[in-house]
Amino acid sequence: MMKIMLSLLVAMMISTFMMMLCTVISKTSILDREKMSPFECGFDPKSKARSPFSLQFFLIAILFLIFDIEIAIMLPMIITMKISNIVSWATTMTIFITILIMGLYYEWKNGMLEWAF
């Protein structure tokens, strides 16, 4: 029981010392206004919080994620080509690529890939 209490006391002393040391060291950076202001990818953080968001940009990002995941699905299929039946592999790849092309055609015809200015 004494070892547990001693370990607990040492852990608390080390953590208290580290917190006090960080407080003393960080005193110089509190005075610097540029370091204390939040960085938001070049945008002014003091502007309106509810600025308009481009829905077209969101759709393009979603399309990119979908096609990126589909490529990640296709890569293992290429590796398994050597060990699988070539007819079933070709059928699976043909159906998969056909669905991809149909989806791309649908997005293109609905105007999802065009930027609205």
Q: Where are the domains of the chain?
A: 2-36, 55-109
Q: What is the mean pLDDT of residues 50-60?
A: 72
- pLDDT at site 113: 73
Q: Mean of the per-residue pLDDT values for the chain?
A: 79
Residue 72 tokens read as 């990640």
CB contact set of 45 (below 8 Å; sequence gap of 6+): 37, 38
pLDDT digits (tens, 9 = 90+) for 7-42: 999 999 999 999 998 888 876 555 566 666 666 565
**Position with higher pLDDT, 45 vs 113:** 113
Report the Cα 61 to chain-centroid distance in Å.
Answer: 12
Residue 23 tokens read as 């407080």
> Structure pTM?
0.46
